[in-house]
Amino acid sequence: MKPVLIRQHVDGAPPAILAEWLEHRGLGFEISRSWLHEPLPDPTKYAFVVSLGHDAGAHETHLPAVAAEIELLRAAIAHDVPVLGLCFGGQALAAALGATVERAPTAELGWREISTDDPTLVPAGPWLEWHYDRFATPPNAIELARTADAPQAFKQGPHLGVQFHPEATIEIVTDWANSDGRPGEAPTATPEQRAAARAAAFRLFDAFLAQADQNSSPFALSET
């Protein structure tokens, strides 16, 4: 099987629980750090692409790094390489599929439970969120989940975009809260809540992988 490509956009937003899941499932991966401004990876060399969070919004296409990420995801889509977009990555995937991304009227910060139409693919959470922008559901995509403030998940073929952070830990989001000058809004969690969030993330990642394998070209997930 080809390795997985992880696109990390800021040092403080690592793959965390996602990397743990990949290791548990025996899936090799490479981390491409977009702030190093290296040539864009060739998505056809990977089983699937995961795009993580960013301190920029996917609507800020005047920023070269944002425009480049959308370009990379469009290339992956064109070659039937599945994409999993998490928060900014979900917004970038939505933009690559032709949807609008905009500043949200209400920031979603901390734990949020979502309304889901497909809990086997996207569990209701609660999930950790930390974002000020939101995506619209792309044309021809299926909206899977939402809150009163924003769409939370969509799928199109093998691709899945979510607005929350299944990959993040409490410590990571606490750092974001401190960086944003919102230490009082940093989330807390009991050991039981941490374990439940990790289990929900594993279920989401497993379901994405199963759907990607079923819906994409077999050449996307295996070496020829």
Per residue in 20-45, pLDDT (tens digit) is 999 999 999 999 999 998 999 999 99
Identity of the residue numbered 118: D
CATH superfamily of 4-221: Class I glutamine amidotransferase (GATase) domain (3.40.50.880)
Q: Mean pLDDT across the stretch 49-66?
A: 96
Is residue 54 over pLDDT 70?
Answer: yes
Structure tokens given for 155 = 């799928």
pLDDT of 16 reads: 98
pLDDT of 222 reads: 42
Identity of the residue numbered 38: E
Residue 117: pLDDT band (50, 70, 90) is very high
Q: For residue 50, which phi and psi values (nearest 5 degrees)?
A: -115, 125
In angstroms, the Cα distances linking 48 to 21, 27, 145, 214 are 14, 11, 22, 13
Instruction: Please check whether residue 221 is in contact with residue 1, taking contact to mean a CB–CB distance below 8 angstroms.
Output: yes
Q: Mean pLDDT across the stretch 149-160?
A: 97
Instruction: Please check whether residue 131 is in contact with residue 86, taking contact to mean a CB–CB distance below 8 angstroms.
Output: no
pLDDT of 218 reads: 43
pLDDT tens for each residue of 120-136: 999 999 999 999 999 99
Measured between its terminal Cα atoms, the distance across the chain in Å is 9
pLDDT of 212 reads: 86
pLDDT of 216 reads: 54
Q: What is the pTM of this model?
A: 0.94
DSSP helix/strand/coil, 30:
strand
Residue 224: pLDDT band (50, 70, 90) is very low
Q: In percent, how much of the chain has pLDDT > 90?
A: 93
Is residue 205 over pLDDT 50?
Answer: yes
pLDDT of 103 reads: 95
Is residue 71 over pLDDT 80?
Answer: yes
Q: In percent, how much of the chain has pLDDT > 70?
A: 96
Residue 4: pLDDT band (50, 70, 90) is very high
Q: Mean pLDDT across the stretch 79-106?
A: 97
**Domain-by-domain residue ranges, the chain?**
4-221
